[in-house]
Amino acid sequence: MNNRDVYQDPLVSRYTDKEMQNIFSDNFKFKTWRKCWIALAEAQFELGLKQVTKEMIDELKKASEEEIDYKIAEEKEKEIRHDVMSHVYEFGLHCPKAKGIIHLGATSQFVGDNTDLIQIKEGLKIIKKGLINTISSLANFADKYKGLATLGYTHSQPAQPTTIGKRATLYIYDLLMDLNQIEFVESILKARGEKGTVGTQASYMELFNGDYEKTKQLDLLISKKLGFKDSFSVSGQTYTRKFDTILAKALSGIGESASKFSADLRLMSTFKIMEEPFEENQTGSSAMAYKRNPMRCERMTSLCRKLISLPIDFSNTHANQWFERTLDDSAIRRIIIPQLFLLTNAVLKLYQNISEGMTVFEAQIKKHLREELPFMATESILMELVKRGKDRQEMHQIIKEHSFEATKTVKFEGKQNDLFERLLNDKRLLLDKEFLDNLIEKPERFAGAAEIQTKEFLEKEVKPVLDRYSDLVGKSDSKVRV
């Protein structure tokens, strides 16, 4: 049997980075278990536990460099039905002198939870890198097109103009909020440390003859050896699964932001005003040769849909942890924690890739503006007529009547918007063609402060973030499988 004979997760085979895949691999997991056992033994030795010697620790460290014999571990697990103890056994075969003190005083969640938290810590680094680079590419795009007027839409109907760059700031702002959530998760991320079977550290109180200070020092020492500043102050057998729900909501928020962007770009490609990258030899449709389907955005929408749905699984897991712990969190977390990170990685790879290569069709943008600008200009026309001494309410009624008739012409007859022609021909208004032409010659006049807002936002809110994370900019791979 080869890989083609069994199911392959497309998150691994199609969509994600090897770097992220590695974090949730068997080798990373079980080698980290070995690191946890070494950290435990070192901390016990440093605190004077006589059962642990320097010679044992040296043997553990040397043995940890050897490859894991998965066949032995799997055979042992079939026999004893316990994954942690099967790997304790396998590790012990490499270090016969130290095997008796491996996992001393620990419960399974010592290696399980601490390894999960290390994986989460490393995974967040990759997520943050992708997030920063997506923000960076969108910021460059927003700056380039900050003054290019385009129709705004409310209720998916043409509204006042905005600019292409200003619209991009909306996507950036969402991502800045997502970054804020990731930073919060990092601020509360700690090791589980070593809390014992039900969180009371009873086994270590026994080993240290009731010395609580040494027991506390053991917990802190282990946490620091595993790369954390501290550990969760209290726990049951596991760290609280509430942390997992907070993590899931933060990462799923990236899915929300990315889905909003991809939906907008799909709509813009329908209007032919903007488009995602399209390769020179890319095929859009197997049947319709002319098609340029927004397949990357559609893929991103699809992945986001799954990512957005994940927090409920984490919430239900947390809500159903009885007392100090039950094992019904185990199987589902094996599935959904890797999924959470792989999905977020896949989404950000697509988001960065798309935002780096978007095409803007200025001629189409101007065409759409010309079709709708006469309606957008009616407020300016009304103000001008009032300046000339006309009655505001009377002029409003006249303009409204002509606007409705012009709309009928466009919708029912398929003709061009003739509102200006109608207004010019109405002797009650006494408007001149030069005045009306000047109104729409520079459509950006109807975009308010869009360009200024964009410049201000990029300078005051985006630049400080990119400066703070300058070491990450340009360090994220955005290549995707088309």
C-beta pairs of 204-208 under 8 Å, 24+ apart in sequence: 204/105, 206/105, 207/44, 207/49, 207/51, 207/104, 207/105, 208/47, 208/49
Q: Are strands 157-163 and 149-154 parallel, antiparallel or unpaired?
A: antiparallel
What does the DSSP assignment read for 288-339? -TT----HHHHHHHHHHHHHHHTHHHHHHHHHT--TT--GGGHHHHHHHHHH
Q: Which of 86, 87, 103, 155 is catalytic?
A: 155
What's the rounded Cα separation, in Å, for the pair 439 and 378? Answer: 10
Residue 263 is inside which H or E element, if any? helix 242-270
What's the rounded Cα separation, in Å, for the pair 259 and 407? Answer: 33
The DSSP output letter for 191 is B
**Three-state SS at 151:** strand
Active site residue 155: yes
163 forms beta bridges with 149
Residue 360's alpha-carbon distances to 89, 165, 348, in angstroms, are 61, 11, 21
The DSSP output letter for 201 is -
Q: Which of 13, 82, 285, 470 is catalytic?
A: 285
The answer to whether residues 333 and 244 touch, using CB atoms and an 8 Å cutoff, is yes
Helix, strand, coil % in the chain, rounded to nearest 5: 65, 5, 30
Active site residue 108: no
What's the rounded Cα separation, in Å, for the pair 197 and 13? Answer: 38
Our CA angle for 138, 142, 148, nearest 5°, is 145
Instruction: Output the six-digit token pair for 142.
Output: 């927003």
The answer to whether residues 225 and 42 touch, using CB atoms and an 8 Å cutoff, is yes
**Rounded CA Rg of the chain:** 31
The sign of the dihedral angle between the CA atoms of 72, 73, 78, 80 is positive
Instruction: Output the six-digit token pair for 440.
Output: 């729409």
Phi and psi at residue 478, in whole multiples of 5°? -110, 10
The answer to whether residues 325 and 238 touch, using CB atoms and an 8 Å cutoff, is yes
Residue 149 is inside which H or E element, if any? strand 149-154
What's the rounded Cα separation, in Å, for the pair 406 and 416? Answer: 9
| Catalytic site positions | 155, 285
